[in-house]
A and B are shown apart, each in its own frame.
Chain A
Amino acid sequence: MPHFAFEDCLLKHYIRKEVWLPFCRERLRKIRATSSRNPRRMRYFTFCAVGALDVLLLDRERVLRRSNNDEFDTVFFFDKDREAIIETQKRIPGANGFPGDFARVVMQADVGDDELALRVLTDERDTHEVREKQMQRAQLGDFIESFPFDVVNLDVEQYLYRPKEQLPGILTNAIRKIFKWQKRDGLGSNKKPFTLDEFTLMFTTRVGPADLPDEYISYLRDHCIEKNLVEFQELTIPFQKKSGGRAPADFFANDFDGAFTLAVPKSLSELALEQDWYIDDVKGILVFQFDRPFADGTYRMLHMVMSISRQQPPEEKRAPGQKVQAALSAHKNTIVKLFEADVISVEALVQGAMEVALKTDLQELFKHRERYYKPAAE
């Protein structure tokens, strides 16, 4: 089977243009609403891949604004492929590229701030291992300093849960840290300090794997579905509809994809609540899916988009054990919405006029990209 042309995928472009873009526009509108004079520019974190099409779309649509120097200085991205970092920076010059394994960098053991800063060491020799450790810590320090972001686009293209990892998995813990660092004070492009009350999270993962260990299945089944069914009676009917009348265990056993696409967004909502955030229940979590050809057949991509707000008052201003009712209520509403709404199948949307329009738009986006970088002809 020939290599899949990720860049030409219209289903993915639908997600970019029809889902991510409106959410980012809304985010920009809110940033601008906070300060009518000299508002800061949007800060964007992404796993954009070499083509950087998400960044370039937001650039073309003037949602992401470049610096006076024409640089993407408010864009931050990770890529463990060193060549990919180089190619990406050609296409979005001035963007902050971290050449490392995101999860590995983020999940380093906690050390003091002074350990995160690059410095001349006094007690260790200049060996590869020491340099590697120093650079990884420095990347972590730099990354933490970059927070908070208005939009976090975790387009990871891999499994959220990997069988070899202990529950809850590296990625889940990395997201935990992201939620934590999103509470940091930031310095805007307008040189004014700011803190975030809300941000947009776009999370992409593969559905699966099919051989997910029991401890993950139990977590998803018991904690993300069954517990809610017990807690909220109004979920019973929507769940029966979704599961075809099956019990949660049967649902996982007979319709893994269906159960997974319900449980995973739910786990994100739990994660947000745990970290003093909550998912805005007006839109809730929008969940999209499409199938992508692969060497062994196809795999299913799950795209989730949501707006996340800080609990008010924030934890540092609450008494121990005090809950924020508005956040709990939004959390519940989000869960109800997840149980009631169908996962949106992108294939059904990208047809006819929409397909033609996306194709044209993608070509225009490729052309827009050449404004920054045009690969030399052979």
Chain B
Amino acid sequence: MPKIRVHERALAHLSRGLYRSPASALRELVSNAWDANATRVEINTNYPKFYQLSIQDNGDGFTADDFESLMSGGIGNSQKRTNDQPLRYSRPTIGRLGIGMLGIAQICGSFVVTSNPKIGKPFRARVNLYDLAKEKMDEKYSELVHDATTTLEGEQISGKIVDVGTYDFEKLNGETPFKGTLIIVDDVAPIFTLTFQESLKLGEFKDMPREWRQAVVRVLNKAPSLQVLGDYWRLAWELSAACPIPYFANDALPKGIVRERNAALESYNFALHLDGRQLFKPVLLRENPGGYTTTHINPGPQTVYGKDLDFGGYIVVQEGLQLKPDELRGILIRIKNVGIGYYDQSMLDYRFNEGPRTRWLTGEVYVEKGLEDALNVDRDSFNRFHPEFRVLQTYVHEVLRNEVFPAVYKNIDARSKERKSKVATKRNATVRSVLQEHGNRNVRIVRRARDEEDEMKSTYSSAHRSRDTVEVVVPNEEDLPTGKASRQLARAILAIFEVALLESDRSTQRKKFSELLLDLLKRW
């Protein structure tokens, strides 16, 4: 039977254009640092100039042999580290596609890797990627592609390797002031620098506070969208959202819904810094006047076509108030704690129109087992027709349809009633206060008892004065045959009308009514 094959040219092209944003490429390097047992990763953007970019970790580092092997065919061929030694702090291994280090090529033409491994000697290497690589691949294909044999799960397999650049290697003998790996991207694409520099000049740009918490509270939680804040804010936000770092605190989200998750993240002892500020997940939902509805996602382990799938998470609805920034709304799927793409505002293609309520909703799904096969090659999105994705999607949609939105509607109803009652109380107080200020020391406003027999009568009002007290009987709002919005005002006007009628003659009544009406409308 003839076989269907994919040309390696297509795969080689990936080395120069895999990720959607610089944050996605950096996220891969952060994941590498996690897998290398680093406890601290520092990203420096050379803010506010952006002439270079660097990422440094204090992890295990590469040995020279590791690096050379990676550069001579290992990229794109690295196996997940499931057979390696377990990671420190009981971290789950993120694993990688293997393009990780080259992913940064998206924004540069060359970079320098310096590594001081825990075992072995330090080295420095400059990686130079070919200019105009895609064209070169198309034009000088035969010069760039070679046969190769690699080992996959103990089995020798033949394949092709593609030259994508060169590197200069230098063994370091002197002191290297750090343990771990440092990647400096110095040949940054001018457009990257230009875009980031320009984003600092946007009208809505705000200086980023030194404390990330302040950045979230003072700026992000008030910004309609990251777009208006510009690329530097977007980079910080995307990194903090996607990387396996803790929340600000166990109670960063309402009702302690991420308490256990945060405790686990903190136990991994992994800190990410951007230009000197430690990042935490950019979610801090508190003090919403309308409160929050929280729902756990917890279906338990499942099997899909013989493969394990295990996920959990939460959905939080900020009742009655749009989430800010807008990028926070939707559902973010994480595999081994790493965010895949962004918060999905379609809520994994949720099929029902819930109107503006979807703008109140944010959630995260942590996938502990499975779903990796559903990842697209950019690691930023999923194949939505993959059975594992489908199972997760169906479960989340059921939770949304059967638990989250019914609870939201119930809360809307309760809030609406409460609000109406508050308004009615306030309006009654206004009428009473108007009457009091016009010479009626004690005012009692009572609702007329319903008279089922005589519907017309129930719309009548009346007023009586006895000594220094005026008692005004007003109809029930529901009995007034006006539009809903006018009923409270109609009732108030009837009340002052009845009080005006208590005056002795028509001219005084008219004068009194005018005074009361104008004052009432002024304060309404």
On whether A125 and B131 interact (CB within 8 A), knowing A90-B44, A99-B51, the answer reads yes
B contact residues around A68 at 8 Å (CB) = 207
In whole angstroms, what is the CA distance A354 to B118 when docked? 43
CB-based contact B208/A69 at 8 Å: yes
B166 to chain A, nearest CB (A): 12
A contact residues around B40 at 8 Å (CB) = 376
B432 to chain A, nearest CB (A): 49
Produce 1/0 per residue, B119-134, CB < 8 A to A.
0000000001001100
Interface segment, one of B182-190, B357-365, B447-455, B474-482: B182-190
CB-based contact A132/B187 at 8 Å: yes
CB-based contact A67/B52 at 8 Å: no
CB-based contact A142/B276 at 8 Å: no
Chain B's closest residue to A118 (CB) is B194
A contact residues around B194 at 8 Å (CB) = 118-120, 138
Task: Decide if A279 is an interface residue (CB 8 Å cutoff).
Answer: no
Chain B's closest residue to A3 (CB) is B175
CB-based contact B276/A373 at 8 Å: yes
B contact residues around A131 at 8 Å (CB) = 109, 187, 189-190
In whole angstroms, what is the CA distance A68 to B275 when docked? 17
Task: Decide if B47 is an interface residue (CB 8 Å cutoff).
Answer: yes
| CB interface residues, A 286-311, toward B, < 8 Å | none
CB-based contact A70/B193 at 8 Å: no
6 tightest Cβ-Cβ pairs between the two chains A and B:
A118-B194, A69-B207, A127-B131, A93-B276, A86-B44, A70-B210
Task: Decide if A83 is an interface residue (CB 8 Å cutoff).
Answer: yes
Binding site for B on A (CB under 8 A): 3, 67-71, 73, 82-83, 85-86, 89-90, 93-94, 96-100, 118-120, 125-128, 131-132, 134-135, 138-139, 142, 372-373, 376, 378
CB-based contact B187/A86 at 8 Å: no
Instruction: State which of A96, A128, A373, A376 has its C-beta within 8 Å of the C-beta of B187.
Output: A128
On whether A128 and B131 interact (CB within 8 A), knowing A69-B210, A93-B276, A99-B46, the answer reads yes
Q: Is the interface of A mostly helix, strand, loop or mixed?
A: loop
Chain A's closest residue to B175 (CB) is A3
Task: Decide if B209 is an interface residue (CB 8 Å cutoff).
Answer: yes
CB-based contact B46/A85 at 8 Å: yes
| CB interface residues, B 26-83, toward A, < 8 Å | 39-40, 42, 44, 46-49, 51-52, 54, 56, 58
Task: Decide if B433 is an interface residue (CB 8 Å cutoff).
Answer: no
A71 to chain B, nearest CB (A): 7
In whole angstroms, what is the CA distance A376 to B109 when docked? 31
Query: Chain B interface: which size bin?
Result: 35 or more
Can you list 28 residue pairs at the A/B interface with Cβ under 8 Å? A67-B207, A69-B208, A82-B52, A82-B54, A85-B46, A86-B44, A89-B44, A90-B44, A97-B46, A99-B46, A99-B186, A118-B197, A119-B194, A120-B194, A126-B131, A126-B132, A127-B131, A128-B109, A128-B128, A128-B187, A131-B189, A131-B190, A135-B51, A139-B51, A372-B276, A373-B276, A376-B39, A378-B179
A contact residues around B131 at 8 Å (CB) = 125-128
Task: Decide if B492 is an interface residue (CB 8 Å cutoff).
Answer: no
Instruction: State which of A94, A99, A119, A120 has its C-beta within 8 Å of the C-beta of B48.
Output: A94
Instruction: State which of B54, B109, B191, B210 has its C-beta within 8 Å of the C-beta of A93.
Output: B210
CB-based contact B49/A96 at 8 Å: yes
How many contacts A-B (CB < 8 Å)?
97
B contact residues around A94 at 8 Å (CB) = 47-48
Binding site for A on B (CB under 8 A): 39-40, 42, 44, 46-49, 51-52, 54, 56, 58, 109-110, 112, 114, 128, 131-132, 175, 179, 182, 184, 186-191, 193-194, 197, 207-210, 275-276
CB-based contact B52/A90 at 8 Å: no
A187 to chain B, nearest CB (A): 13
CB-based contact B49/A97 at 8 Å: yes
CB-based contact A96/B48 at 8 Å: yes
A233 to chain B, nearest CB (A): 52
CB-based contact A85/B52 at 8 Å: yes
CB-based contact B184/A69 at 8 Å: no
Chain B's closest residue to A87 (CB) is B177
A54 to chain B, nearest CB (A): 19
In whole angstroms, what is the CA distance A96 to B187 when docked? 18
A contact residues around B39 at 8 Å (CB) = 376
B contact residues around A132 at 8 Å (CB) = 187
Chain A's closest residue to B178 (CB) is A375
B502 to chain A, nearest CB (A): 63
A contact residues around B189 at 8 Å (CB) = 126, 131
B contact residues around A3 at 8 Å (CB) = 175
A122 to chain B, nearest CB (A): 13
A146 to chain B, nearest CB (A): 10
In whole angstroms, what is the CA distance A374 to B248 when docked? 21
Max count, chain B CB within 10 A of own CB: residue among A73, A118, A120: A118
List 6 additional contacts besides A89-B46, A376-B40; criterion CB under 8 Å. A82-B186, A86-B184, A89-B275, A118-B194, A128-B131, A128-B187
